[in-house]
A and B are shown apart, each in its own frame.
Chain A
Amino acid sequence: MNTNLQPQSPPLHEYVIERINVGVFSVNRDMAIVLWNRFMESHSGLRAEDVIGKNLFECFPELPRDMLERKINSVFILKNFAFTTWEQRPYIFKFAHNRPVTGGIDHMQQNCTFMPVKDAEGEVQHVCVSLLDVTDTSIYQNMLKKAMQSLAEASNRDGLTGIYNRRFLEETLAKEFSRVRRYGGNMSLVLLDLDHFKNVNDTHGHLAGDEVLRNAAQRVTAGLRQSDTAGRYGGEEFALILPETTSEGAEILAERLRARIADQPVQHENIAIPISISAGIAQWMPHMTRYENLIEAADVALYKAKDSGRNCVKVAQVQASNDGDARSQPTGT
Chain B
Amino acid sequence: MSIVTLSADQTDALQEIVNIAMGQAGDSLARVLDTFVVLSVPRIRLIEAEQVSQSVAALMDDATTEVTAVRQSFSSHLRGEAIVIFTSGSVSALSDLMGYEHSVDAQTEKEVLFDVSNILVGACLNGVAEQLDADLTFSAPSIISENVTPDRVLTGNNLPWNYCLKVEVNFTLEEKNFKSHLLIMMAEDAIATLGESLNEFIAAI
Contact = CB atoms under 8 A, between A and B. Distances in A.
Interface of A: 66, 70-71, 73-74, 77-85, 87-89, 111, 113, 122
25 contacts: A66-B99, A70-B98, A70-B99, A70-B115, A73-B32, A77-B28, A77-B31, A77-B32, A78-B122, A80-B118, A80-B122, A80-B123, A80-B126, A81-B118, A81-B137, A82-B122, A85-B114, A85-B142, A87-B110, A88-B110, A88-B111, A88-B114, A89-B111, A111-B140, A113-B140
Interface string B109-123: 011001100110011
A78 B108 contact: no
Contacts of B110: 87-88
A83 B141 contact: yes
Task: List the 7 shortest-distance A-B pairs measured between CB atoms, nearest first.
Answer: A80-B122, A83-B140, A88-B111, A81-B138, A78-B28, A88-B107, A88-B110
Nearest to A115: B137
Contacts of A83: 114, 118, 140-141
A273 B110 CA distance: 55
Given A83-B114, A85-B140, A88-B108, A78 B123 contact: yes
A70 B33 CA distance: 10
Nearest to B31: A77
Contacts of B108: 88
A263 to B, nearest CB: 44
Interface of B: 28, 31-32, 98-99, 107-108, 110-111, 114-115, 118-119, 122-123, 126, 130, 137-138, 140-142
B114 A74 contact: no
A289 B4 CA distance: 48
A73 B114 CA distance: 16
Interface of A is mostly: mixed
Given A88-B108, A88-B114, A81 B28 contact: no
A331 B150 CA distance: 44
Contacts of B119: 74, 78, 80
Contacts of B137: 81
Nearest to B137: A81
A78 B111 contact: no
A13 to B, nearest CB: 17
Contacts of A79: 126
B194 to A, nearest CB: 20
Nearest to B139: A83
A9 B88 CA distance: 55
Given A80-B122, A85-B114, A88-B107, A74 B140 contact: no
A263 B188 CA distance: 72
Contacts of A111: 140
A255 B182 CA distance: 55
A78 B32 contact: yes
Contacts of A74: 32, 115, 119
A81 B32 contact: no
A179 to B, nearest CB: 12
Contacts of A78: 28, 32, 119, 122-123, 126
B8 to A, nearest CB: 31
B142 to A, nearest CB: 8
Given A70-B99, A111-B140, A81 B122 contact: yes
Nearest to B109: A88
Given A77-B28, A80-B118, A81-B137, 19 more contacts: A70-B99, A74-B115, A77-B31, A78-B122, A78-B126, A79-B126, A80-B119, A80-B126, A82-B115, A82-B118, A82-B122, A83-B114, A83-B141, A85-B140, A85-B142, A88-B107, A88-B111, A111-B140, A122-B130
Nearest to A113: B140
Contacts of A81: 118, 122, 137-138
